[in-house]
Amino acid sequence: MARPCLLLLPSLLLAAAAAALLLAWAPGGALAKSKLAKKSDDIVNGPLLTEKLGAKRTLIVGPDEEFKTVQSAIDAVPAGNSEWIIVHLRSGLHKGKVTIPADKPFIFVRGNGKGRTSISHESASADNAESAAFTVNADNVIVFGISFRNSARVGLVNNQEIRSVSAMVAGDKVAFYHCAFYSPHHTLFDSAGRHYYESCYIQGNIDFIFGGGQSIFQCPEIFVKPDRRTEILGSITAQDRKAKDDTSGFVFLKGKVYGVGEVYLGRVSAPNSRVIFADTYLSKTINPAGWTSIGYTGGTEKECDAGGVQLHRAWLRRGQARAVVAAVHHERGGQVPHRRLHQRQGVAAGVLLLMIFRTE
Protein backbone atom coordinates (compact mmCIF):
# COMPACT_ATOMS: atom_id res chain seq x y z
CA MET A 1 0.00 0.00 0.00
CA ALA A 2 1.31 3.43 -0.87
CA ARG A 3 2.32 5.67 1.99
CA PRO A 4 3.71 9.21 2.10
CA CYS A 5 7.45 9.60 2.17
CA LEU A 6 9.35 12.88 2.58
CA LEU A 7 12.94 12.98 1.40
CA LEU A 8 14.66 16.36 1.65
CA LEU A 9 17.98 15.33 0.10
CA PRO A 10 16.56 14.21 -3.24
CA SER A 11 14.73 17.51 -3.41
CA LEU A 12 17.97 19.39 -2.89
CA LEU A 13 19.45 17.32 -5.67
CA LEU A 14 16.45 18.11 -7.84
CA ALA A 15 16.95 21.80 -7.23
CA ALA A 16 20.60 21.57 -8.19
CA ALA A 17 19.82 19.39 -11.17
CA ALA A 18 17.10 21.76 -12.29
CA ALA A 19 19.54 24.64 -12.21
CA ALA A 20 21.95 22.66 -14.38
CA LEU A 21 19.35 21.05 -16.60
CA LEU A 22 19.80 23.36 -19.58
CA LEU A 23 23.03 22.98 -21.52
CA ALA A 24 24.18 25.74 -23.83
CA TRP A 25 22.34 25.52 -27.12
CA ALA A 26 24.20 27.86 -29.45
CA PRO A 27 25.72 25.68 -32.19
CA GLY A 28 29.01 24.13 -31.10
CA GLY A 29 29.65 25.54 -27.66
CA ALA A 30 29.02 25.77 -23.94
CA LEU A 31 27.60 28.89 -22.37
CA ALA A 32 31.00 30.41 -21.70
CA LYS A 33 31.62 30.39 -25.46
CA SER A 34 28.01 30.94 -26.47
CA LYS A 35 26.60 34.07 -28.03
CA LEU A 36 23.82 33.82 -25.45
CA ALA A 37 26.16 34.44 -22.50
CA LYS A 38 25.10 37.59 -20.68
CA LYS A 39 25.77 39.59 -17.55
CA SER A 40 23.39 39.13 -14.64
CA ASP A 41 21.81 42.56 -15.12
CA ASP A 42 20.94 42.06 -18.79
CA ILE A 43 17.27 42.40 -19.67
CA VAL A 44 16.12 39.73 -22.07
CA ASN A 45 14.22 41.22 -24.99
CA GLY A 46 13.72 40.56 -28.67
CA PRO A 47 16.52 42.79 -30.00
CA LEU A 48 19.01 41.39 -27.48
CA LEU A 49 18.24 37.79 -28.40
CA THR A 50 18.39 38.65 -32.09
CA GLU A 51 21.79 40.29 -31.65
CA LYS A 52 23.28 37.53 -29.50
CA LEU A 53 22.12 34.71 -31.75
CA GLY A 54 23.63 36.29 -34.84
CA ALA A 55 21.13 34.64 -37.15
CA LYS A 56 21.85 35.09 -40.86
CA ARG A 57 18.28 34.63 -42.05
CA THR A 58 14.96 36.13 -40.96
CA LEU A 59 11.54 34.99 -42.17
CA ILE A 60 8.84 37.61 -41.56
CA VAL A 61 5.19 36.62 -41.06
CA GLY A 62 2.35 39.05 -41.66
CA PRO A 63 -0.52 39.92 -44.01
CA ASP A 64 1.78 42.04 -46.19
CA GLU A 65 4.86 39.83 -45.91
CA GLU A 66 6.20 36.89 -47.91
CA PHE A 67 4.84 34.45 -45.35
CA LYS A 68 1.16 34.85 -44.54
CA THR A 69 1.02 32.18 -41.84
CA VAL A 70 3.39 31.08 -39.11
CA GLN A 71 3.32 27.48 -40.30
CA SER A 72 4.35 28.45 -43.83
CA ALA A 73 7.44 30.16 -42.41
CA ILE A 74 8.28 27.12 -40.29
CA ASP A 75 7.86 24.93 -43.37
CA ALA A 76 10.43 27.09 -45.18
CA VAL A 77 13.14 26.20 -42.66
CA PRO A 78 15.26 23.40 -44.17
CA ALA A 79 15.22 19.99 -42.52
CA GLY A 80 18.38 19.35 -40.54
CA ASN A 81 18.95 23.07 -40.05
CA SER A 82 22.12 23.76 -38.00
CA GLU A 83 22.20 27.58 -37.83
CA TRP A 84 19.82 29.96 -36.11
CA ILE A 85 16.91 31.18 -38.22
CA ILE A 86 14.52 33.88 -36.98
CA VAL A 87 10.80 33.60 -37.66
CA HIS A 88 9.54 37.11 -36.88
CA LEU A 89 5.80 37.52 -36.36
CA ARG A 90 4.36 40.96 -37.00
CA SER A 91 1.98 42.34 -34.37
CA GLY A 92 -1.54 40.98 -34.52
CA LEU A 93 -3.47 37.74 -34.32
CA HIS A 94 -2.01 34.78 -36.20
CA LYS A 95 -4.63 32.04 -36.56
CA GLY A 96 -3.93 28.39 -37.18
CA LYS A 97 -2.23 25.40 -35.62
CA VAL A 98 1.58 25.65 -35.59
CA THR A 99 4.04 22.76 -35.28
CA ILE A 100 7.83 22.90 -35.27
CA PRO A 101 8.85 19.37 -36.34
CA ALA A 102 11.73 17.48 -34.77
CA ASP A 103 13.97 17.85 -37.84
CA LYS A 104 13.94 21.68 -37.74
CA PRO A 105 16.05 22.83 -34.76
CA PHE A 106 17.66 26.23 -34.13
CA ILE A 107 14.58 28.37 -34.69
CA PHE A 108 13.95 31.64 -32.87
CA VAL A 109 10.24 32.49 -33.02
CA ARG A 110 10.05 36.19 -32.23
CA GLY A 111 6.93 38.24 -31.53
CA ASN A 112 6.57 41.92 -30.66
CA GLY A 113 5.35 41.30 -27.11
CA LYS A 114 2.75 38.99 -25.59
CA GLY A 115 0.21 41.82 -25.57
CA ARG A 116 0.72 42.56 -29.28
CA THR A 117 1.48 39.24 -30.99
CA SER A 118 -0.58 36.09 -30.53
CA ILE A 119 -1.07 32.63 -32.03
CA SER A 120 -4.60 31.26 -31.68
CA HIS A 121 -6.21 27.99 -32.65
CA GLU A 122 -9.44 26.27 -31.64
CA SER A 123 -9.00 22.57 -30.98
CA ALA A 124 -10.28 20.14 -28.33
CA SER A 125 -9.45 16.46 -28.21
CA ALA A 126 -9.14 13.45 -25.95
CA ASP A 127 -5.43 13.55 -26.85
CA ASN A 128 -3.31 16.37 -25.42
CA ALA A 129 -0.81 16.45 -28.29
CA GLU A 130 -3.53 16.48 -30.92
CA SER A 131 -5.30 19.41 -29.28
CA ALA A 132 -2.23 21.68 -28.99
CA ALA A 133 -2.39 25.06 -30.74
CA PHE A 134 1.43 25.37 -30.75
CA THR A 135 3.80 22.41 -30.66
CA VAL A 136 7.60 22.31 -30.36
CA ASN A 137 9.07 18.90 -31.21
CA ALA A 138 12.49 20.26 -32.23
CA ASP A 139 15.51 20.83 -30.00
CA ASN A 140 17.15 24.25 -29.61
CA VAL A 141 14.15 26.54 -29.98
CA ILE A 142 13.66 30.01 -28.46
CA VAL A 143 10.35 31.85 -28.33
CA PHE A 144 9.93 35.50 -27.34
CA GLY A 145 6.98 37.86 -26.86
CA ILE A 146 4.02 35.77 -28.04
CA SER A 147 0.67 34.79 -26.50
CA PHE A 148 -0.57 31.28 -27.20
CA ARG A 149 -4.29 30.66 -26.96
CA ASN A 150 -6.48 27.63 -27.49
CA SER A 151 -9.97 29.07 -27.83
CA ALA A 152 -11.86 25.75 -27.88
CA ARG A 153 -15.03 25.39 -25.86
CA VAL A 154 -14.50 22.12 -24.05
CA GLY A 155 -18.13 21.58 -23.05
CA LEU A 156 -19.17 19.20 -20.30
CA VAL A 157 -16.52 18.15 -17.82
CA ASN A 158 -17.09 14.43 -18.57
CA ASN A 159 -16.72 14.93 -22.30
CA GLN A 160 -13.78 12.88 -23.64
CA GLU A 161 -12.74 15.71 -25.97
CA ILE A 162 -11.98 18.00 -23.08
CA ARG A 163 -8.28 18.77 -23.53
CA SER A 164 -7.41 22.05 -25.21
CA VAL A 165 -3.67 22.62 -24.91
CA SER A 166 -2.31 26.06 -25.81
CA ALA A 167 1.30 24.87 -26.17
CA MET A 168 3.05 21.51 -26.11
CA VAL A 169 6.82 21.48 -25.56
CA ALA A 170 8.52 18.17 -26.38
CA GLY A 171 11.92 19.25 -27.71
CA ASP A 172 15.11 19.53 -25.66
CA LYS A 173 16.73 22.87 -24.75
CA VAL A 174 13.71 25.06 -25.42
CA ALA A 175 13.18 28.51 -23.87
CA PHE A 176 10.24 30.91 -23.70
CA TYR A 177 10.75 34.56 -22.73
CA HIS A 178 7.88 36.96 -21.95
CA CYS A 179 5.17 34.71 -23.36
CA ALA A 180 1.60 33.97 -22.26
CA PHE A 181 -0.46 30.78 -22.34
CA TYR A 182 -4.27 30.62 -22.24
CA SER A 183 -6.66 27.67 -22.32
CA PRO A 184 -9.83 26.51 -20.57
CA HIS A 185 -8.30 23.11 -19.77
CA HIS A 186 -4.74 21.68 -19.78
CA THR A 187 -2.98 24.90 -20.74
CA LEU A 188 0.76 24.14 -20.95
CA PHE A 189 1.84 20.60 -21.82
CA ASP A 190 5.48 20.55 -20.71
CA SER A 191 5.86 17.10 -22.17
CA ALA A 192 9.54 16.13 -22.20
CA GLY A 193 12.99 17.69 -22.39
CA ARG A 194 14.84 20.53 -20.64
CA HIS A 195 13.00 23.84 -20.75
CA TYR A 196 13.30 27.37 -19.39
CA TYR A 197 10.42 29.84 -19.04
CA GLU A 198 11.15 33.41 -17.99
CA SER A 199 8.57 36.08 -17.10
CA CYS A 200 5.71 34.10 -18.60
CA TYR A 201 1.99 34.38 -17.80
CA ILE A 202 0.10 31.09 -17.51
CA GLN A 203 -3.67 30.91 -17.02
CA GLY A 204 -5.89 27.89 -16.45
CA ASN A 205 -7.85 25.83 -13.95
CA ILE A 206 -7.32 22.03 -14.14
CA ASP A 207 -3.80 20.53 -14.41
CA PHE A 208 -2.80 23.55 -16.43
CA ILE A 209 0.96 23.02 -16.16
CA PHE A 210 1.56 19.32 -16.69
CA GLY A 211 3.82 16.71 -18.24
CA GLY A 212 7.20 15.08 -17.76
CA GLY A 213 9.49 17.99 -18.60
CA GLN A 214 12.56 19.04 -16.62
CA SER A 215 11.84 22.74 -16.40
CA ILE A 216 12.54 26.01 -14.63
CA PHE A 217 9.86 28.71 -14.48
CA GLN A 218 11.65 31.96 -13.58
CA CYS A 219 9.46 34.84 -12.36
CA PRO A 220 6.20 33.27 -13.58
CA GLU A 221 2.77 34.85 -13.18
CA ILE A 222 0.21 32.11 -12.66
CA PHE A 223 -3.48 33.05 -12.75
CA VAL A 224 -6.15 30.61 -11.62
CA LYS A 225 -9.39 30.80 -13.56
CA PRO A 226 -12.39 29.00 -12.01
CA ASP A 227 -13.99 26.06 -13.80
CA ARG A 228 -17.71 26.46 -13.26
CA ARG A 229 -18.53 23.07 -14.81
CA THR A 230 -17.52 21.10 -11.73
CA GLU A 231 -17.28 21.40 -7.96
CA ILE A 232 -13.98 19.53 -7.96
CA LEU A 233 -11.05 21.80 -7.18
CA GLY A 234 -8.51 22.13 -9.95
CA SER A 235 -4.74 22.01 -9.61
CA ILE A 236 -1.95 24.11 -11.05
CA THR A 237 0.56 21.32 -11.68
CA ALA A 238 0.41 17.64 -12.57
CA GLN A 239 4.04 16.59 -12.92
CA ASP A 240 4.56 13.21 -14.54
CA ARG A 241 7.78 11.81 -13.07
CA LYS A 242 7.23 8.05 -13.01
CA ALA A 243 10.59 6.54 -12.01
CA LYS A 244 12.97 7.37 -9.17
CA ASP A 245 15.87 7.85 -11.58
CA ASP A 246 13.85 10.18 -13.81
CA THR A 247 15.46 13.65 -13.75
CA SER A 248 12.25 15.51 -14.58
CA GLY A 249 10.57 18.05 -12.30
CA PHE A 250 9.10 21.55 -12.22
CA VAL A 251 10.88 24.40 -10.39
CA PHE A 252 9.05 27.73 -9.93
CA LEU A 253 11.25 30.65 -8.82
CA LYS A 254 10.35 34.15 -7.65
CA GLY A 255 6.85 34.13 -9.08
CA LYS A 256 3.28 34.94 -8.14
CA VAL A 257 0.25 32.66 -7.89
CA TYR A 258 -3.19 34.25 -7.63
CA GLY A 259 -6.64 34.14 -9.18
CA VAL A 260 -10.32 33.47 -8.62
CA GLY A 261 -11.75 30.56 -6.67
CA GLU A 262 -9.66 27.85 -5.06
CA VAL A 263 -7.15 25.32 -6.39
CA TYR A 264 -4.37 23.03 -5.25
CA LEU A 265 -0.77 23.78 -6.11
CA GLY A 266 -0.52 20.36 -7.62
CA ARG A 267 -1.76 16.82 -7.80
CA VAL A 268 0.16 13.59 -7.93
CA SER A 269 -0.17 12.29 -11.47
CA ALA A 270 2.69 9.77 -11.22
CA PRO A 271 4.42 7.81 -8.42
CA ASN A 272 7.38 10.20 -8.15
CA SER A 273 5.98 13.61 -9.14
CA ARG A 274 8.30 16.48 -8.12
CA VAL A 275 7.51 20.19 -7.90
CA ILE A 276 9.36 23.00 -6.13
CA PHE A 277 8.06 26.54 -5.55
CA ALA A 278 10.79 28.88 -4.23
CA ASP A 279 10.51 32.59 -3.34
CA THR A 280 6.94 32.49 -4.60
CA TYR A 281 3.96 34.55 -3.45
CA LEU A 282 0.91 32.36 -2.89
CA SER A 283 -2.46 34.09 -2.61
CA LYS A 284 -5.54 32.83 -0.78
CA THR A 285 -6.68 31.09 -3.94
CA ILE A 286 -4.44 28.17 -2.91
CA ASN A 287 -6.20 25.49 -0.89
CA PRO A 288 -4.49 25.16 2.54
CA ALA A 289 -3.94 21.44 1.90
CA GLY A 290 -1.50 22.49 -0.83
CA TRP A 291 -1.75 19.32 -2.88
CA THR A 292 -4.09 16.50 -3.74
CA SER A 293 -3.58 12.95 -4.93
CA ILE A 294 -5.39 10.84 -7.48
CA GLY A 295 -4.24 7.28 -6.95
CA TYR A 296 -1.10 8.29 -5.03
CA THR A 297 -0.31 9.69 -1.61
CA GLY A 298 2.45 11.78 -0.10
CA GLY A 299 3.69 15.33 -0.09
CA THR A 300 4.73 18.19 2.11
CA GLU A 301 4.84 21.97 2.23
CA LYS A 302 7.72 23.98 3.60
CA GLU A 303 8.54 27.63 4.30
CA CYS A 304 5.39 29.19 2.86
CA ASP A 305 4.21 32.69 3.54
CA ALA A 306 0.81 33.07 5.17
CA GLY A 307 -1.19 33.56 2.02
CA GLY A 308 -3.35 30.66 0.96
CA VAL A 309 -1.11 28.14 2.71
CA GLN A 310 -1.34 28.69 6.45
CA LEU A 311 1.23 28.36 9.19
CA HIS A 312 -0.06 25.10 10.65
CA ARG A 313 2.05 23.31 8.05
CA ALA A 314 5.56 22.03 8.76
CA TRP A 315 8.30 24.56 8.06
CA LEU A 316 11.91 24.34 7.07
CA ARG A 317 14.36 26.40 9.06
CA ARG A 318 15.52 29.55 7.24
CA GLY A 319 18.96 28.06 6.72
CA GLN A 320 17.50 24.97 5.09
CA ALA A 321 15.31 27.12 2.88
CA ARG A 322 18.30 29.18 1.79
CA ALA A 323 20.20 25.98 1.01
CA VAL A 324 17.53 24.84 -1.41
CA VAL A 325 17.32 28.25 -3.08
CA ALA A 326 21.13 28.42 -3.26
CA ALA A 327 21.17 25.03 -4.94
CA VAL A 328 18.74 26.33 -7.52
CA HIS A 329 20.95 29.37 -8.08
CA HIS A 330 24.05 27.23 -8.58
CA GLU A 331 25.06 27.21 -12.24
CA ARG A 332 27.39 24.22 -12.34
CA GLY A 333 30.33 25.95 -14.00
CA GLY A 334 28.38 28.22 -16.29
CA GLN A 335 26.48 25.56 -18.19
CA VAL A 336 23.00 27.01 -17.77
CA PRO A 337 22.02 29.06 -20.85
CA HIS A 338 20.33 31.90 -19.07
CA ARG A 339 21.58 34.70 -16.94
CA ARG A 340 22.46 34.11 -13.32
CA LEU A 341 19.37 33.97 -11.16
CA HIS A 342 19.17 36.97 -8.88
CA GLN A 343 16.90 38.63 -6.37
CA ARG A 344 13.99 40.64 -7.76
CA GLN A 345 11.97 43.38 -6.15
CA GLY A 346 8.29 43.09 -5.31
CA VAL A 347 8.29 39.39 -4.43
CA ALA A 348 8.08 38.12 -0.87
CA ALA A 349 11.60 37.10 0.13
CA GLY A 350 12.39 33.80 1.78
CA VAL A 351 9.22 32.08 0.63
CA LEU A 352 9.77 28.45 -0.20
CA LEU A 353 7.34 25.69 -0.96
CA LEU A 354 8.69 22.21 -1.33
CA MET A 355 6.36 19.50 -2.61
CA ILE A 356 7.49 15.91 -2.97
CA PHE A 357 5.21 13.06 -3.94
CA ARG A 358 6.48 9.53 -3.41
CA THR A 359 5.04 6.06 -3.04
CA GLU A 360 6.62 3.04 -1.45
Which of 65-74, 106-115, 148-157, 171-180 has the least mean pLDDT?
A: 148-157
DSSP string spanning 113-173?
A: -TTTEEEEE---BSSHHHH-SEEE-SSSEEEES-EEEE-----STT-S--B--SEEE-SSS
pLDDT at 23: 33
Q: What is the pTM of this model?
A: 0.77
What is the H or E stretch that residue 13 is in?
A: helix 8-19
- pLDDT, greater one: 353 or 222: 222
Residues 349, 124: Cα–Cα separation, whole Å: 40
Mean pLDDT of 258-279: 82
207 noted as active-site residue: yes
pLDDT at 148: 97
Superfamily of structural domain 45-195: Single-stranded right-handed beta-helix, Pectin lyase-like (2.160.20.10)
Mean pLDDT of 224-240: 76
Which range has the top average pLDDT, 124-128, 214-218, 236-240, 305-309?
214-218
Mean pLDDT of 307-328: 46
Which of 60-74, 100-114, 139-153, 330-344 has the least mean pLDDT?
A: 330-344
Domain boundaries, the chain: 1-29+199-360, 45-195
Catalytic residue among 42, 75, 103, 207: 207
- pLDDT bin (cut points 50, 70, 90) of residue 305 is very low
In contact, 278 and 19? CB cutoff 8 Å: no
> Helix or strand or coil: residue 271?
coil
In contact, 97 and 133? CB cutoff 8 Å: yes
Q: Which residues pair with 209 in a beta bridge?
A: 188, 237
